[in-house]
Amino acid sequence: MKSVVVNGYGTIGKRVADAVSAQDDLKIIGVSKTKPDFEARMAVEKGYDLYISFPEREKLFHDAGIEISGTVDEMLEKADIVVDCTPGGVGAKNLAQYKDLGLKAIFQGGEKHEDIGLSFNAFANYSDSFGQDYVRVVSCNTTGLTRTLKPINDLCGIKKVRAVMVRRGGDPHQINVGPLNSIVPNPPTVPSHHGPDLQTVMYDININTVALLVPTTLMHQHNLMVELENQVEVEEIIKKLEDTSRVMLVKANEGLGSTAEIMEYAKELGRSRNDLFEIPVWQESLNITEGELYYMQAVHQESNVVPENVDAIRALLEMEEDPEKTVQKTNKAMGIL
């Protein structure tokens, strides 16, 4: 049983903590908060030992009646590995402390690949992280692209990908982000950073992306145009995606024609926080014209990277050499289809 701590118990951190707790070979021995807010209170109510990022704020937690177990420095001393889920850019600053402690660390997609040195996706490059000290789990968008492009590349080879990324303006709880009533080319320059980010885990993929921000909080949505290396039928692509873990085919004609309806379906699954860890691909959108595959998919940005964080722990701690075995183990414990 390996001891894991989560530094930054926010949108991603609280989900990673629960996913790790569900595994029989890992345990959470601490999570951290900067403020005595409802998430801090609920972490303690769930039974997590809570550590504070800023020792001078101890009185704030005491006054709020939230029990703390110590400081982040103390938490890190006890761990086999830290999953850093702090806001983008903070993780890279924390890296020096983890290095001083000789502590292995996993970072999130808000960090720059160059700052961490190695990026991770369980399906694309698991073995490159085996036994390494630091790795970055790629962002929710890049994880979504990898989940479907990797099996398609395995099936028939990919000459070139073009993708239009329609991105949510913010997460559901974020009251001060937008846009509220606009479609924003973001960035307005082409290509966006998503293509190069995919190349940090699928090293040889030829891809260009453009990205937009829209006024929604539920999911991202991707539109892909994929020039195939070898001729295949759409049915073969469908079969491949059906057989691929953490990908699900959905049918618009069954009432799942939008991100809103897909998130309603996620509620029906009855998981904690209504999370959808899998990438839904609209079956009707799959089409091949003149050797080019078209399809549309969505990404539940708050949760899809969470299982890959669990897999990354097993890779860094050399707990499982076979990526398929860790994926299966993680999936089973998290109830992933």
Pick from 149, 84, 87, 103: nearest CA to 123: 149
CB 301 within 8 A of CB 220: yes
- Given 70, 110, 179, 191, the residue binding ligand NAD (CB under 6 A): 110
The pairing of beta strand 81-84 with beta strand 2-7: parallel
Query: Whose Cβ is closer to ligand NAD: residue 75's or residue 228's?
Result: 75
Instruction: Mark the segment that binds ligand NAD (CB under 6 A) among 11-19, 44-52, 117-125, 232-240.
Output: 11-19
Q: Taking CB under 6 A as the rule, does residue 53 contact ligand NAD? A: yes
Residue 87 interacting with ligand NAD (CB under 6 A)? yes
Dihedral of CA atoms 128, 82, 109, 53 in degrees, nearest 10, equals -160
CA atoms within 13 A on the CB side of 305: 24
Using DSSP's 3-state secondary structure scheme, residue 209 falls into strand
172 lines the binding site for ligand NAD (CB under 6 A): no
Q: Is 36 in the site for ligand NAD (CB under 6 A)?
A: no
Shortest Å distance, C-beta 40 to ligand NAD: 8
Q: Taking the alpha carbons of 90, 92, 95, 96 in that order, is the dihedral positive or negative?
A: negative
301 or 331, CB closer to ligand NAD?
Answer: 301
- Of 32 and 283, which CB lies nearer to ligand NAD in the complex structure? 32
Burial, 134: exposed, middle or buried (Cβ in 10 Å; 0-12, 13-18, 19+)? Answer: buried
Nearer to ligand NAD, 172 or 185 (CB): 172
CB within 8 A of 196, min separation 6: which ones? none
For 103-132, give the DSSP string: -EEEE-TTS-HHHHS-EE-TTTSHHHHTT-
Asked if residue 121 binds ligand NAD (CB under 6 A), the reply is no
From the list 26-34, 115-123, 150-158, 276-284, the region that binds ligand NAD by CB under 6 A is: 26-34
Q: Work out whether 10 is an interface residue with ligand NAD (CB under 6 A).
A: yes
User: Catalytic residue at 140?
Assistant: yes
Strand, helix or coil for residue 46? helix
Q: Which stretch binds ligand NAD (CB under 6 A): 104-112, 191-199, 208-216, 280-288?
A: 104-112
Nearer to ligand NAD, 11 or 209 (CB): 11
Pick the catalytic residue from 140, 161, 250, 266.
140
308 binds ligand NAD (CB under 6 A): no
Residue placing its CB nearer to ligand NAD in the complex, 9 or 155: 9
Contact window for ligand NAD (CB under 6 A) among 1-9, 22-30, 57-65, 224-232: 1-9
Does residue 142 touch ligand NAD according to CB under 6 A? no
For residue 56 the two structure tokens come to: 């001078």
Among the listed residues 2, 4, 6, 13, the single contact to ligand NAD using CB under 6 A: 13
Cβ-contact 295, 286 below 8 angstroms: yes
119 beta partners: 136
Q: How, if at all, do strands 134-137 and 247-250 pair? A: unpaired
Q: Which residues bind ligand NAD (CB under 6 A)?
A: 7-13, 32-35, 53, 85-88, 90, 108-111, 139-140, 171, 301-302, 305
Known catalytic residues are: 140
